[in-house]
Amino acid sequence: MHIAITGNIGAGKTTLARKLSEHYKWDVLYEAVEGNPYLADFYEDMSRWSFNLQVFFLNSRFSQAQKIRSMHYQTVVQDRTIYEDAFIFAKNLADTGMMEARDYQNYLMLYETITNTIQAPDVIVYLKADLPKLRRQIQKRGRDFEQSITDEYLLNLNGLYENFAQHYIDGPLLTIDVNNLDFESNPEDFGFIIQEMNKTLGYR
């Protein structure tokens, strides 16, 4: 199976992907953050680097999708989905004027060409987190380039995530409200997520 974790910056996707892979003995594919040649520049000047960054992430996600397809007999948990690139991050940049309309249309044509060749995840897990939770997590992990992210930017993304979750029709989507959960440190909180995962996956 292909299990994908989705959610805003700081929602806990990477941590959950790691813990699920350890619990279920699944393979895991992480988002290309470390070593990303555009990310730090993007947070300094979003308008200048938005298209470059989104194309980099789109290519990275497509490469992961191809790898997942080649792993026929293994279950893989993926940190973030290709859908978020187009319908949340790139859309937000276009909506707020930080990506030119012609660049966004060019991006969408490339996105559609790519997604026509790949399959949707078997299950998407959406980690729902409000602004205070996101802020605490961003501060906790201490990436310098993320400290300049504005509240408005995060709130815009949250709105687009909610819209995406409500209208997603390509497979099961499990929503987990993580505002009051500490699944990294609290075994009971992680156990709750495992219970929800088992119900969604049909495990007993």
Q: Record the tokens describing residue 48, joined without a space.
A: 């200048």
Look up 177 and say whether it is catalytic: no
Print burial letters for 125-163: b (CB count within 10 Å at least 16), e (below 16).
bbbbbeeebbeebbeeeebeebeebeeebbebbbebbee
What's at 56, amino acid-wise? F
Marked catalytic residue, from 27, 41, 45, 79: 79
Residues with catalytic annotation? 79
